[in-house]
Amino acid sequence: AQTVTQSQPEMSVQEAETVTLSCTYDTSENNYYLFWYKQPPSRQMILVIRQEAYKQQNATENRFSVNFQKAAKSFSLKISDSQLGDTAMYFCAFLPGSGNTGKLIFGQGTTLQVKP
């Protein structure tokens, strides 16, 4: 069974600094998709960034980028120039390439606090 592990329950960073959130996953599949979702306090979960496993190039979205290491099954999220609005719980999610269901498998989450 596929699993996703986020080993950092809580992290904090000073405003304008850079922070990296870790995620590892376990799968025997070769084709899959990885996502980072952000869930602000009492607000809905929104997509931050996604990566297709068949792409070697790391995905970037403005201040957000990933370090995708397929062999190591690692998918970390880097947030540059942290802003107060980045304070949220961040979830790493895995989507198997087989099955065609869209069934996301989430990690336990990392609570990030950006301090002024």
Partner 1 sequence: DTGVSQNPRHKITKRGQNVTFRCDPISEHNRLYWYRQTLGQGPEFLTYFQNEAQLEKSRLLSDRFSAERPKGSFSTLEIQRTEQGDSAMYLCASSPGTGFYQPQHFGDGTRLSIL
Smaller CB separation from partner 1, 103 or 115: 103
Smaller CB separation from partner 1, 28 or 43: 43
- Based on the number of CB atoms within 10 Å of its own CB, is 65 exposed (0-12), middle (13-18) or buried (19 or more)? middle
Q: Which stretch binds partner 1 (CB under 8 A): 11-19, 45-53, 60-68, 79-87?
A: 45-53
> CA-to-CA distance for 26 and 1, rounded, in angstroms?
8
- Please tell me the number of Cα atoms within 13 Å of 110 on its side-chain side: 26
Which of 75, 82, 109, 112 is the binder for partner 1 (CB under 8 A)?
109
Minimum separation from the CB atom of position 111 to partner 1 (A) = 9
Residue 78 contacts partner 1 per CB under 8 A: no
- As a dihedral over the C-alpha atoms of residue 94, residue 100, residue 101, residue 102, rounded to 10 degrees, the angle is 40
Q: Which stretch binds partner 1 (CB under 8 A): 44-52, 54-62, 67-75, 80-88?
A: 44-52
Are the C-beta atoms of 104 and 3 separated by less than 8 Å?
A: no
- Footprint of partner 1 on this chain (CB under 8 A)? 4, 33, 35, 37, 43-47, 50, 52, 91, 93, 95, 97, 99-109
